[in-house]
C-alpha cells in the first residue's frame, strides 16, 4: 500500500471539491457557485470534471457528495483524476444524524467503502478500486457553527469533552457503533473516509 503524508510533502497537486467559500491554501478549489470565487467554477453533477486523468495527489470532498445526484459517479470521477497512490479524503454526514440539511439527498455509513472493493462485487462494486486507510466517526464535527449559533464557552467546552469521549468509544468499532448504539448519543455528525487509490 502506498501512503502519502500530506503534512510532510509540499509539492503535491491538491484538489478541494465543493469548496463552498472555504478555500484551502495550496489546493485548487472547485465550486459551481461563482459567488464563492472558486479557482475553477464547475457543477460537480456534470461529467467529466475539467481535469486530466491521474492529475492529483490529494483530493478532498468535504460535505459535498451528499448534495450531488450520483455519489458513485462522483467517486468514479475522483478516481479518474487521482494519481495511483493518491489520497482521497471524503467527509459526509453519518446517516444517524438524519438528513439535517434540506439539500442532503444521500446518507452514508461504514459500508460505503465496500462499493470500491472487488470482494463485494455481488452486492454493488462500482468498478474502481480504493483501499481504506482510515474510517472515523465524529460526534461533534462543527464547533465553529455551534459558536455562531450562540452557544457559550462553557457549553462548547463540555460538548468538546463529550466529543472526545464518545469519539474514542465509537472508533474502537465504527461498525458496531453504526449498527447498535449511534442513536443513543443523538447520532454522529460526520463520517470521514480516507482512501488510497
What's the predicted TM-score (pTM) here? 0.86
Looking at every residue in the chain, the average pLDDT score rounds to 87
Residue 164 has φ and ψ, to the nearest 5°, of -60, -45
- Residue 97 grid cell: 444524524
The least confident of 25-29, 128-132, 147-151, 173-177 is 147-151
CATH number at residue 105: 3.40.50.150
| Domain-located, residue 6 | no
| Domain-located, residue 5 | no
β-partners of residue 88 are 59, 195
The pLDDT tens digits of the residues spanning 36-75 come to 888 999 999 999 999 999 999 999 999 999 888 999 999 9
| Domain-located, residue 4 | no
- Is residue 137 classed as helix, strand or coil in its secondary structure? strand
| Domain-located, residue 132 | yes
| Domain-located, residue 9 | no
- Calpha distance 75→90 (Å, rounded): 9
- Is residue 189 classed as helix, strand or coil in its secondary structure? coil
Question: What average pLDDT does this structure show over 16-20?
Answer: 87
Question: What average pLDDT does this structure show over 178-196?
Answer: 94
- Report how many domains make up the chain: 1
| Domain-located, residue 108 | yes
User: Which structural domain range is residue 114 located in?
Assistant: 14-196
Closest CA to 29 of 44, 20, 14, 39: 39
* 9 band by pLDDT with thresholds 50, 70 and 90: very low
HEC string of 55-87?
CEEEEEEECCHHHCCCHHHHHHHHHHHEEEEEE
Give the β-pairing of 27-31 and 56-62.
unpaired
Give the β-pairing of 27-31 and 40-41.
parallel
- Residue 167 grid cell: 469519539
| Domain-located, residue 148 | yes
Which residue, chain included where needed, has cell 448534495?
67
Amino acid at each position: 500500500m502506498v501512503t502519502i503524508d500530506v503534512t510532510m510533502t509540499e509539492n503535491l497537486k491538491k484538489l478541494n471539491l465543493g469548496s463552498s467559500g472555504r478555500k484551502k491554501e495550496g489546493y485548487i478549489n472547485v465550486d459551481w457557485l461563482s459567488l464563492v470565487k472558486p479557482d475553477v467554477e464547475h457543477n460537480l453533477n456534470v461529467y467529466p470534471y475539467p481535469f486530466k486523468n491521474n492529475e492529483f495527489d490529494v483530493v478532498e470532498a468535504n460535505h459535498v457528495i451528499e448534495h450531488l445526484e450520483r455519489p458513485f459517479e462522483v467517486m468514479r470521477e475522483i478516481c479518474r483524476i487521482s494519481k495511483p497512490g493518491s489520497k482521497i479524503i471524503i467527509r459526509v454526514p453519518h446517516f444517524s444524524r438524519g438528513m439535517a440539511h434540506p439539500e442532503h439527498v444521500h446518507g452514508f455509513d461504514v459500508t460505503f467503502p465496500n462499493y470500491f472493493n472487488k470482494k463485494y462485487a455481488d452486492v454493488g462494486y462500482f468498478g474502481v478500486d480504493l483501499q481504506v486507510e482510515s474510517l472515523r466517526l465524529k460526534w461533534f464535527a462543527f464547533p465553529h457553527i455551534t459558536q455562531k449559533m450562540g452557544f457559550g464557552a462553557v457549553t462548547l467546552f463540555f460538548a468538546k469533552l463529550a466529543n472526545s469521549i464518545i469519539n474514542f468509544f465509537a472508533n474502537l468499532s465504527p461498525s458496531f457503533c453504526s449498527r447498535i448504539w449511534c442513536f443513543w448519543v443523538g447520532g454522529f455528525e460526520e463520517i470521514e473516509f480516507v482512501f488510497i487509490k
